[in-house]
Structure 1
Amino acid sequence: MSKAAIAEKEKFVDAFAEELKSAKAILVINYLGLTVEEVTNMRKELRENDVKMKVVKNTYLRRAAAKAGIEGLDDAFVGPTAVVYTDNADDITEPARIVSKYEDDFDVIDIKGGMLEGKLTSKEDIKSLAAIPGREGLLSMLVSVLQAPVRNVAYAVKAVVDSKDESAE
């Protein structure tokens, strides 16, 4: 292999290591068996939610992970592998939610493992995380909970006003 090719591959590994360093959530998946259309749809949905997906050779993954200081995922870098990751700290559940949805819809996708905010995470933990509503869902639930007392007071005041109207008639 030429020195130029080696340098190019090393440059790719360095750039990918930097992306992994800044990632808040990393999932390692096997997507082999999806059609081109299904992979395209999954990538589109990931991209719309500020999540990236890269298919990288396992040797490059191991090197990039080592350069990024990521330990414990080497067992996941076996066979056909794609890495799904985001550096969006606002919603680290999004990659897990999207990949889990596709895993449920298509039997061929397999979550091999991952990391969330620097901590090694099992497939079971990723599936539980996927069940948690996203940031928008949590915010709407919070607004609903905060509105409930005000709404109840409004209903009570309305009931008092209605009962006074009835007694005045």
Structure 2
Amino acid sequence: MASKNRELKEAKVLEIKERMEKAQSMVISKYQGLTVEEDTELRRKLREEGVEYKVYKNTLSIIAAKELGFENLVDLFQGPVSIALGYDDPTAPARILYDFAKEHKKLELKGGMIQGEVCNTDKIKEFATIPPKEVLLAKLVGSFKAPLSNLVYLLNAIKAKKESEEA
């Protein structure tokens, strides 16, 4: 029986390690005090953005973090904590949890890791204010488009002026 229990724990540690390794970002938060409705709402928001939200045993999370060399995360696994794992947009977990925590004071950001960098709560909040990748790309395209539009307008004005002078 003890052997079977150990195998289950080792499999769970392997699962946690794989998820941590694959994630571009990971935010650890204290969720104690959230109602079932609030937790369901949070999970729905995270899922819509492609963020995985898990609650694991702290001892297993600590083992996984240590095996991956994330010793700086170990202190965050105290008390009832959850892990939000972002695979596509590295700012998504921080942004969603930060916005949710503004309305639901029971949710407390503890820290995490974004693209290999271990972050404290303040750093997570900084990342939370970065707009989503799609918004940043749209702004970038817009910044390229504006000068080109002005150039086209200028060229059309020059063309129109030359045509009126010739007539």
Q: Which TM-score applies when normalising by structure 1?
A: 0.87
Distance 2:83 2:72 in 1: 15
| CA displacement at 1:3 relative to structure 2 | 2.2
Q: What residue identity is the alignment partner of 1:36?
A: V
Give the partner amino acid of 1:62: I
Counterpart for residue 4 of structure 1: 4
Describe the superposition over 1:7-62 as per-residue Cα deviations: whole angstroms up to 9, x where unpaired: 21221112111211222111110111211122112112212222111111211111
> Is residue 26–residue 114 contact of structure 2 (8 Å, CA) maintained in 1?
yes
Does residue 99 (structure 1) correspond to residue 135 (structure 2)? The answer is no
Q: Percent identity?
A: 36
2 CA distance for matches of 1:97 and 1:155? 39
Note if contact 2:17-2:64 (Cα within 8 Å) is conserved in structure 1: yes
Alignment of 1:1-169 (within 5 A): 2-88=2-88, 91-159=89-157
**1-structure distance, mates of 2:80, 2:109:** 12
Higher mean C-alpha displacement, 42-51 vs 157-166: 157-166
Q: 1:152 to 1:5 in 2, by over 3 A?
A: same
Whole-Å separation in 2 of the counterparts to 1:162 and 1:92: 49
8 Å contact from structure 2 (residues 66, 74) kept in 1 = no
Task: Name the CA distance, whole Å, in 1 between partners of 2:156 and 2:72.
Answer: 60
Runs of 4+ in 1 over 4 A off after TM superposition: 157-169
Q: Deviations over 1:90-135 (max 9, x none)?
A: x211111111111111111111111112211111111111111111
Gaps of 5+ in 2: none
The alpha carbon displacement at 1:153 in A equals 2.3
Mind listing any 5+ residue stretches in structure 1 that lack a counterpart? none
Number of equivalent positions: 167
Q: CA separation in 1, counterparts of 2:2 and 2:126?
A: 46
Change (3 A) 1:34 1:168: farther
In the alignment, the residues of structure 1 paired with residue 164 and residue 131 of structure 2 have an alpha-carbon distance, to the nearest angstrom, of 45
Cα distance in 2 for partners of 1:74, 1:160 equals: 66
Q: Distance in 1 between matches of 2:136 and 2:58?
A: 36
| Alpha-carbon distance between aligned partners in 1 of 2:10 and 2:151, rounded to the nearest angstrom | 65
User: TM-score with structure 2 length normalisation?
Assistant: 0.88
Q: Is the 8 A contact 1:14 1:67 kept in 2?
A: no
Query: Is the CA contact 1:31–1:81 (under 8 Å) kept in the aligned structure 2?
Result: yes
Return 8-17 or 132-141, whichever deviates more.
8-17
- Match for 2:6: what amino acid? I
